Amino acid sequence: MGRLLNIVTPLHRMTKRDYLARMNDDKVTCMLKAKEYESDYWDGDRRFGYGGYRYLENRWTPVAKALIETYGLKDGSRVLDVGCGKAFLLYEMKKLLPGLELIGFDMSHHGVADAKPEVRDNLFLYRAQDAYPFGDKHFDLAISLATFHNLRLFELKTALAEVQRVGKQAYIMLESYRNERELFNLQCWALTAESFFDTAEWIWLYNHFGYTGDYEFIYME
């Protein structure tokens, strides 16, 4: 196994969440809408997802800087973002290191279309659970943030294998829990998650499926 990192957690903790309010708001209907992953999910009412996922200057800069430093990226390095959404992270990485070769994909038409113009041409529509159209070790770094918990077990097997295959280095961040309170909060909050596993279970899955890259968990504390 790779390293347990702490890259996104500080950003995650900046957002306040009303867990019970989401659970009590016709959640099944909201889940169905969220799982379309289109405009309602990104920029509709908060009950369907992000409630307006707009670009905020420098919000993703600490994450972008940490990834560049942690993985020794330089001009000419290739980076893949699996489930990139609106690719704000890739945009921030490009601002810090203009010579990066960045590629991202997501299944959301709305997400890709609403990306910053500076990176939009480097994005395409694709699913994280399908075989990736790249050669072995094509990228210096393959990342995926807050995507893989939206996959089912048999889809996870493929996704983890593909990130491992195409990246010389890899980093995955997803939602997990460490205790009953965090599990309850996660079940209340999550609209699109298919896999609810505690930290030990995720690590077991990584080992079972042969993933040896780095990882991080965010928690609904």
Report all structural domains of the chain as residue ranges with CATH numbers, in order of start.
9-219 (3.40.50.150)
Q: Could you tell me if 170 and 164 are in contact, meaning their C-beta atoms sit under 8 angstroms apart?
A: yes
Residue found under tokens 């959301």? 108
| Residue type for position 208 | H
* 188 SS3 class: helix
Query: What order of strands is seen across the sheet that includes strand 101-106?
Result: 123-125, 101-106, 78-82, 141-145, 170-176, 214-219
pLDDT, tens digit, for every residue of 88-128? Answer: 999 999 999 999 999 999 999 999 999 999 999 999 999 99
The closest of 185, 110, 190, 104 to 149, measured between CA atoms, is: 190
Q: Which pLDDT score, from 0 to 100, does residue 185 have?
A: 98
Q: Which pLDDT score, from 0 to 100, does residue 1 have?
A: 81
Give the chain's mean pLDDT: 97
| Residue type for position 128 | A
Across the range 180-199, mean pLDDT stands at 98
Residue 20 structure tokens: 């019970």
| Percent of residues, the chain, with pLDDT higher than 90 | 100
pLDDT, tens digit, for every residue of 142-183? Answer: 999 999 999 999 999 999 999 999 999 999 999 999 999 999
Q: Which pLDDT score, from 0 to 100, does residue 133 have?
A: 98
Across the range 198-219, mean pLDDT stands at 98
If pLDDT is split at 50, 70 and 90, which confidence band does 212 have? very high
Alpha-helical regions (H) of the chain: 9-12, 19-23, 27-34, 39-43, 61-70, 88-96, 109-113, 117-120, 153-166, 180-189, 199-208
